[in-house]
Amino acid sequence: MATYALQRLIQSLFVLLAASIVVFLAVYGIGDPIELLVPPQASAMEREEMVRRLGLDLPLWRQYLAFAWNAMHGDLGRSFVHGVPAIELILSRLPATLELVTLAMAIALAIGIPLGLVAGLDRDTPLSRIIMGGTVLGYSLPNFWKGMMLILVFAVLLGWLPSSGRGETAVILGVKSSLFTADGLRHLILPALNLAIPNMALMIRLVAAGATEAKAQDYVKYARAKGVRPGRIVRRHILRNILIPVVTVAGIEFGSLVAFSTITETVFAWPGMGKLLIDSIYQLDRPLVVAYIMLATFLFVSVNLLVDLLYAGLDPRVRLMGEAA
Amino acid sequence: MSAPLLKVRGLRTVFHMADGSWPAVDGVDLEVRRGEVLGLVGESGSGKTVTGFSIVGLVDPPGEVIGGEVLFQGEDLRNAREARLRALRGDRIAMIFQDPLMTLNPVLTVGEQMAEAVLEHHAVGAAAALARAEETLERVGISSARARLAQYPHEFSGGMRQRVAIATALLNKPDLIIADEPTTALDVTIQSQILFEMQKLARESGTALIWITHDLTVVAELADRVAVMYAGRIVESGALATVLDHPRHPYTRGLLDSVPDVAARGSRLPQIFGMAPRLDTRPAGCAFSPRCTRANDRCKHDDPPETMVEGRLLRCHHPLYHGKFG
Amino acid sequence: MSATPAVPRADTALRRKVLERLRNQPTARGALVILALIVAAALLAPFIAPQNPYDLTALNVMDNRLPPGEKGMAGLTFWLGSDAQGRDMLSAILFGLRTSLLVGVAATAAALSVGVAVGLAAAQFGGRIDALLMRVVDFILGFPSILVALVLLAAIGRGVDKVILAIVVVQWANYARLMRASALVERRKEYIEAAVNQGLPTLYIMRAHLLPNSIGSVLVVATVSIAGAITLEATLSFLGVGVPVTEPSLGLLIANGFEFLLSGEYWISLFPGLALLGLILSINVVGERLRRSFDAHRH
């Protein structure tokens, strides 16, 4: 287990390194960085001053090294528009995005796994076909439009829920979140639902495929030959085998959900990291964009690493194979 | 004469395919007495595995049991409710499958998989179930049984896994064990060991055994009675010595002849020419006729009925007389 | 002389069977019909649209935000209502579908070309080249597509061609991986070995033998990916980094209608969305059936 963990850790570091190079090149290498980083109102003198200060007159590779050095010390540049360090700004928005993504993932799993089981265990029923048909709709709906329609139905037409923004927060165990207040939850439901739906569709399909395959396995027939009740067969035999791919996918999805929240946050005016990114792109706040990408990559890579280790923990065969290798 | 433990009459199981329903088990008659070992012999495709599943009602779509009678201790299994069958399976009638690697769930411990067989049928605690599992593992020759219970299937060798399967079958002291080619996937030395142990265990506990195999030598070592199956039907059955020493059906004769004999080393191994028919290509008349050296027109058109000859069941128009061709 | 194994032509029998299967399924058939109608409407847009939404002189701002069914100042009936500039929604949608289809198909075709070439090369040349190419592929596939596209467009600016470029950058990696897998399997087959033994040039073998016989599964994925490309473009346009305002695609139309949603003027966002959904859904349904028939047939 230890060697496997070490291998994966080194791999992850490599990916981070590669990402940093690519991002740096994309943002600082393409186009005229001076134009992009220097505020347009600056005079020629101020411009030169800035160029020298930001090190833009140095060769590209030296700029990259400076960038990497700063990055490792937690300095990913300073936001143009807001004037504060980029990292600070992004991290201040993280809780909002995190609670949204967490709730969305919880909804997707809570509804997706049972529906997937129902659909997968008996494919011939009309219910199964309806559920599977629903999943096609689920991943075909354009995210942003789906969000708007949710607002139309629940906020405008029915008036049950607020149409945008984040609700009140409360602090529990040192964590400040709007999950803990009723008003907060009312604001959370629609965006979380919006984020959850495509994921739910994916989960359902995954679980259904796994269930159908597991059901046909010999060990299920053998359990039946032992007289084991169907409920227990599903719970212990089938579910355990399905959970492994589900956990893996869920973990990876969690990482990309943080990225995808961009759209949902824009539609619902949710003050999270995603909205910050979009705003920064509009405002040409380049340092912030770079910082965001690097942070997102870091999050991504860590989540993938954790998932791989969790996978190894759940599936005893992987553990032993890793140790033997 | 005591009533048989298991009585099967005219069992018929078909498989529904896109082009029709084909019989895998086509009118099978079997009987097993208490404590008796019945060897069910046939090549692959003969329907012997499906027979085993049909008895306990584990035939899944596209298969379906469509006819016949299965009486277990006088109880009608074919018309029993699923809940009743579940109660019997694993408790009064146990099964051993062919490949224990596939039949044990890789993500659950062996202990859990054994204990669930006990817990499903008896209101004992988990600890008691595990204790029973440990004890039974030791009976089948697995040492450090307690530690083994916490291990996963892939940590066992092939022979050990099969012993686990055998132990699991014995846990609730069933009246009947249906073993489907349990030693086929093992190497010969282990095979002999297990056969010996099975015989001993069956004798000790009075458990009846249906041993399904394609290998006559296994049957010769183990069984009291033997039934030979071909193309979904029993073509010959009777007491072991009678059938093996004086086979009446040409197929049985062919099977016996094709067993390698040390004395005849170096000479060509006799084989039955041709292959067993597939499900959908069974010939009219006697199913064995295309491969039989004794077949005539009658064999090709008339399906031979079951007859009782000298205390054995036989389906043949031209049975062998005293084990010789003639 | 021993017979040389015949080179299987790109499986025409398989293709026919698959299409036949497709036609026999009612949902797939329905989806195919809808798809055909949408594509036809989009292609014929300049001829059947009541109004040219790009022609700024034809628009009358007094006609703005009329609900569906109302008549405008010039007597034109706005069947699906009008937007904030007085554009006829129906016409805008028809032209928007055109843009969506254009971008989707062009981007997919380009991504397919790049991906197939890379995958083929990786499979054929193996070793270091393969390792390097696949590292790049894995890296790109590691990031969510929307993020990559956003950053790229932030750097290079707006425009239809730039959107297509962004989508290609995002999508080619998937095709590369699939093609490589398929080609690796195909390479092992006898007829390739025979061709090599005959001394045929490598590039020729790749183009004439390996390519047509490995590309089947990739093409099936590409069909569904067109829907993905269309969605991506719509999303980017919605976020304001996609096509320019003068040639609105469905995404932009929906974006324009957002602010009016809260006052109940739903039609500016609803109808373009429905059209987009219809297009994407029908492509997905057809593509899914295609994939399933293909898979079932291969086994």
Distance of CA C218 to the CA centre of its chain: 14
Which has the higher per-residue pLDDT, B299 or A35? B299
Mean pLDDT to the nearest integer, A258-275: 85
Q: Which residues of C touch A278 (CB under 8 A)?
A: 150, 239
Helices (H), B12-66: 48-56
Asked if the model's pLDDT at residue A283 lies above 70, the reply is yes
Instruction: Indicate the pLDDT class of residue A37, thresholds 50, 70 and 90.
Output: low
Please tell me the distance from the alpha carbon of residue A221 to that of residue C79, in angstroms, as a whole number: 60
C42 in Cβ contact with C282 (< 8 Å): no
Q: Identify which of B60, B97, B121 has the shortest CB distance to residue A227.
A: B121
The reply to whether residue B95 touches residue A225, judged by beta carbons under 8 angstroms, is yes
pLDDT tens string A102-118: 999 999 999 999 999 99
Nearest to C20 by CA among C228, C289, C234, C280: C289
Which has the higher per-residue pLDDT, B190 or C17? B190
Q: Which residues of C touch A15 (CB under 8 A)?
A: 139, 142
Q: Which residues of A touch B113 (CB under 8 A)?
A: 223
The burial of B237, by beta-carbon neighbours within 10 Å (0-12 exposed, 13-18 middle, 19 or more buried), is given as: buried
B217 is written with which tokens? 């030598």
Please tell me the distance from the alpha carbon of residue B100 to that of residue B162, in angstroms, as a whole number: 6
The burial of B161, by beta-carbon neighbours within 10 Å (0-12 exposed, 13-18 middle, 19 or more buried), is given as: buried
Which has the higher per-residue pLDDT, B16 or A66? B16
- A23–C contact, CB cutoff 8 A: yes
Nearest to A284 by CA among A47, A23, A36: A36
Residue with the two structure tokens 């399906």: B303
The average confidence (pLDDT) of chain B is 84
Mean pLDDT to the nearest integer, B199-209: 84
Q: Which residues contact B70 (CB under 8 A, 6 or more apart)?
A: B6, B7, B8, B11, B54, B55, B76, B77, B78
Bond before B62 cis per omega within 30 degrees: yes
pLDDT of residue B149: 92
Which has the higher per-residue pLDDT, A23 or B170? B170
C71 is written with which tokens? 């008549």
- A238–B contact, CB cutoff 8 A: no
Mean pLDDT lowest among A30-39, B108-117, B254-263? A30-39
A50 in Cβ contact with A38 (< 8 Å): yes
> What's the angle, vertex CA B276, arms to CA B273 and CA B281, rounded to 5?
125
- Say what the ipTM of the complex is: 0.82
Instruction: Indicate the pLDDT class of residue B84, thresholds 50, 70 and 90.
Output: very high
pTM: 0.77
pLDDT of residue C13: 59
How far from each other are the two terminal CA atoms of chain B, in whole angstroms?
A: 36
CB atoms within 10 A of CB A236: 18
C113 is written with which tokens? 């070309």
| A contact test, residue of C138, C150, C256, C263 with most A CBs within 10 A | C150
B63 in Cβ contact with B51 (< 8 Å): no
Q: Identify which of C156, C239, C281 has the shortest CB distance to residue A140.
A: C281
> What's the angle, vertex CA A219, arms to CA A218 and CA A225, rounded to 5?
90
Whether B and C touch, i.e. at least 3 CB pairs below 8 A, reads as no
| C contact test, residue of A145, A164, A253 with most C CBs within 10 A | A145
Please tell me the distance from the alpha carbon of residue C234 to that of residue C277, in angstroms, as a whole number: 11
pLDDT tens string A192-204: 999 999 999 989 9
Helices (H), chain B: 48-56, 82-88, 100-103, 110-121, 126-139, 145-149, 158-170, 188-205, 216-222, 240-245, 250-257, 297-301
Q: Which residues contact B147 (CB under 8 A, 6 or more apart)?
A: none
Reported as half-sphere exposure (CB side, CA atoms, 13 A), residue A50 has a value of 16
CA distance A132 to chain C (A): 12
The reply to whether residue C142 touches residue A300, judged by beta carbons under 8 angstroms, is yes
Mean pLDDT to the nearest integer, B299-316: 78
pLDDT tens string B256-294: 877 776 656 666 667 777 777 777 777 777 777 777 777
The reply to whether residue A136 touches residue C281, judged by beta carbons under 8 angstroms, is yes
Residue with the two structure tokens 């962004």: C166
Please tell me the distance from the alpha carbon of residue A141 to that of residue C51, in angstroms, as a whole number: 28
Mean pLDDT to the nearest integer, B56-79: 90
pLDDT < 50 regions, chain C: 1-10
